[in-house]
A and B are shown apart, each in its own frame.
With several copies, the nearest count.
Chain A
C-alpha cells in the first residue's frame, strides 16, 4: 500500500492494519523518518514538504514492486507525509512484512534508498532567518 498524506499517523495502527491480514508473517521491519532540530549547521524550525502527488504514488508503487521482485515479502506499506512538518514530527514510514527477517530488513533499506533517490518530494527547511530547499545526497 502507498499513502501520501498530510496528516500524522500512528505506527502501531499502521502495522497492525497490515499484520492482521497474515498469520504467516514472522518479521516486520519498519523505518520512520523524523524532522531533526539541526541541519546544515543551523537550528531547524520546520519543513515544508512539496510533492508531485500522482507521480509519487506511481514512483513508490514501482519501488515497492521492485522490492517484491527481489525479496520474499508478504506485504509492504510506504507512507509519506507532505505539507508543513515541525521538528520531531514523523515524515515517512516504511513497513515490510515477511516470513523471515532478512527479507524485511533488506527490502525496507532498498525502499528507503530508492525513495530518497527517485520519489518526487522536496523539503524546504526553515531556520531562524532564512530557508533553503534541500537535496538528498547519495
Chain B
C-alpha cells in the first residue's frame, strides 16, 4: 500500500509518500488513526474533516475498505485553475 501526500500535507509529513507493507490499515478510518500516530500534527486536520481521500485515484467521501495494492492519496481542498 502506498499513501501519497499533497500540498501542505507534505509540509507536515515531510515526505511525498509512505509505503506500508505489513499490518496495513483495513479502511479509511483505520488509516486516519495510523496517520495520527505517525504524524500527530495531522490530527487536528483529520478531526475537522477538511481533507479529501482518493483510493486508486477515485475520490471517496465515506469510509471505505482498503487493499494491499491500493494507492491512497490525502490532500486538502484543491486550488487549481
A and B in contact, CB less than 8 Å: yes
The interface of chain A, by Cβ under 8 A from chain B, is: 33, 49-52, 54-56, 58-59, 80, 91-92, 101, 112, 115-124, 133-136
B79 touches A52 (CB 8 A): no
Q: How far is the CA of A60 from the CA of B10 in the complex (A)?
A: 23
Q: How far is the CA of A101 from the CA of B80 in the complex (A)?
A: 13
Cβ 8 A contact of B76, one of A33, A55, A92, A135: A135
Q: How many residues of B contact A (CB 8 A)?
A: 16
15 contacts between A and B (CB under 8 A): A49-B80, A52-B73, A55-B73, A58-B57, A80-B81, A91-B81, A117-B78, A120-B73, A120-B80, A121-B80, A122-B80, A124-B8, A133-B79, A134-B79, A136-B81
Q: How far is the CA of A125 from the CA of B57 in the complex (A)?
A: 26
Q: How far is the CA of A14 from the CA of B76 in the complex (A)?
A: 31
The interface of chain B, by Cβ under 8 A from chain A, is: 4, 6-8, 10, 54, 57, 59, 73, 75-81
B78 touches A136 (CB 8 A): yes
A122 touches B78 (CB 8 A): yes
Q: How far is the CA of A118 from the CA of B10 in the complex (A)?
A: 19
Cβ 8 A contact of B6, one of A50, A54, A58, A118: A50
